[in-house]
Amino acid sequence: MATLGARRIGANADEQLVRSRQRVADHGEVFTPRWLVDDMLELVRSETERIDSRFLEPACGSGNFLVPILERKLAAVSARHGRSEFEKRHYALFGLMCVYGIELLADNVAECRANLARTFVLYLGPDAGDEWKRAALAVLAANIVQGDALKMSDAFGKAITVPEWGYLGRGKYQRRDFRFDDLTQRAGASMGLFGAFHEHEIFTPVRTYPSMTVQEIAA
């Protein structure tokens, strides 16, 4: 899972990079301009164009990195699955499932979810049923977490959990939830104390769900 740092959607040189001086003083909140976001994403272009690559933004703000990443994933969906409306829609949702964010401030969390949902719905177009929007909102409720990435706790002081989504094909998805603090230890799993173990012996999901359709996720 790749991680990127900084915040907020921006379209041009006139974009607002600071919401208020008080928020800068209290939370260090300074947003990143869109041109810089695009330049940074070009450095990992091959990953951003993979539908199944997973990106985590630990200070996601209102989605200034996550929305462009989703846009690139959706472009890859069109290129690879655009001939089949069924596959296009299901892989588009899978692309959304592979985007994650943690954000301290509640208003930013709500805005980030809304920005990502809007990008997804506009991509599918008006012919897609309402269940696709509801499924996207359900995914984003799990994937975009209000919490402190440094303390690895959510807004209620509990350990952050993040879902690992998989597309099984034929309209079916799989979800497994993991603790965020466990996932951060993956880098050490191939060396030292963990060298003699397989990854599945170290990282155990806290919950595994039955396979689900879009309609079941939306419900």
Could you tell me which residue, 209 or 3, shows the higher pLDDT?
209
pLDDT band at 32 (very low <50, low <70, confident <90, very high): confident
Q: Residues 102-125: pLDDT tens digits?
A: 999 999 999 999 999 999 999 999
Torsion of CA 70, 72, 73, 75, to 10 degrees: 120
Amino acid present at 153? S
Which percentage of the chain shows pLDDT scores above 90?
72
- The alpha helices in 125-184, defined as continuous H runs, are 130-143, 180-183
- The alpha helices in the chain, defined as continuous H runs, are 21-27, 34-42, 45-48, 66-81, 85-97, 106-124, 130-143, 180-183, 199-202, 214-218
pLDDT band at 56 (very low <50, low <70, confident <90, very high): very high
pLDDT band at 3 (very low <50, low <70, confident <90, very high): low
Average pLDDT in the 45-62 region?
A: 94
Q: Residues 185-201: pLDDT tens digits?
A: 765 555 444 445 455 55
Closest among 56, 72, 62 to 114, alpha carbons compared: 62
Return the structure tokens found at 205: 């999901």
pLDDT band at 2 (very low <50, low <70, confident <90, very high): low
Predicted confidence at residue 218, as pLDDT, reads 98
Contact partners, residue 126, CB within 8 Å, separation at least 6: none
pTM above threshold 0.85: no
Number of C-beta neighbours around residue 5 at 10 A = 12
Cα separation values, 208 from 71, 164, 167, Å: 29, 10, 14
3-state secondary structure of 100: strand
Predicted confidence at residue 99, as pLDDT, reads 98
Predicted confidence at residue 14, as pLDDT, reads 54
Q: Which residue has 């963990």 as its token pair? A: 194
Q: Residues 121-132: pLDDT tens digits?
A: 999 999 998 999
